[in-house]
Structure 1
Amino acid sequence: MPRMQKQLFALSFGLAALIAATQVAHPEGIACGARAEIVAQLTDRYHETRRGIGIAANNAVLEVFASEESGTFSIVVTLPSGQSCLLASGAEYQPLREAPGKGI
């Protein structure tokens, strides 16, 4: 398996473990709901747009939203059940334009 695939697999596995652990330990700490409502709030409040998408463990869809204007970013995961959850958010978003194979 190529190195990049191994890294993505490990990241997906870690993300799945994070989702499971967080939902069991602190279900009230994660903002979950309909994807359309979460995306609307990210767009309206923070002017964030989708910057990346991928399939994580268990066919969950992981999306990264960000705004260069406000510098904010959010990571949203949508489970196969249709439920979406805001996993992380932060500030100081910096877009990167790295050549393939030149990343960390």
Structure 2
Amino acid sequence: MLKKTFELSVLKSAALAALALMALPAVAQTSNNCAPRDQVVKRLAERYGESRQSIGIGQRGVVMETFASADTGSWTITITTPGGVTCLVASGQSYEFLAEALPVVDSDA
């Protein structure tokens, strides 16, 4: 049950990140959750012990990154514009580091 709850939480976070990517220009100009990328990365490392765990590139060159701490389990999802402005999208606890294999696809179907 806990694993299913965690998976739903991750899916919700991904959906929020997708929504944030669509609204990024407005968010980057008006939000207190945005700063130059180097400042955000430094603060996540110093304050929460988080380092980058994953990265993806979205539309118009926007970069989505996940930062997490193996020690505390805290995590943060950020998006960064091509101009270098990074915004916090979501954060939480109980991050799990996974390296799962792809499911086996049944070729008879």
- What is the TM-score with the length of structure 2 in the denominator? 0.68
- Runs of 5+ in structure 2 lacking a partner? 1-13, 105-109
- Residue equivalent to 1:64: 66
- Runs of 5+ in structure 1 lacking a partner? 1-10
Coordinate RMSD, CA, aligned: 2.6
Counterpart selection for 1:79 from 78, 81, 89: 81
Counterpart selection for 2:35 from 33, 36, 41: 33
1:66 positional shift = 0.3
- What is the TM-score with the length of structure 1 in the denominator? 0.71
Deviations 1:28-70 (A, max 9, x none): 4x51011011011100011001001110122101111001101
Structure possessing the higher radius of gyration over alpha carbons: 2
Change (3 A) 1:43 1:91: same
Change (3 A) 1:23 1:36: same
Say if 2:20 and 2:89, in contact at 8 Å, map to a contact too: no
Equivalenced residue count is: 87
1:77 positional shift = 0.7
Deviating above 6 A after TM superposition, structure 1's stretches of 4 or more consecutive aligned residues are none
Change (3 A) 1:38 1:21: closer
Change (3 A) 1:34 1:69: same
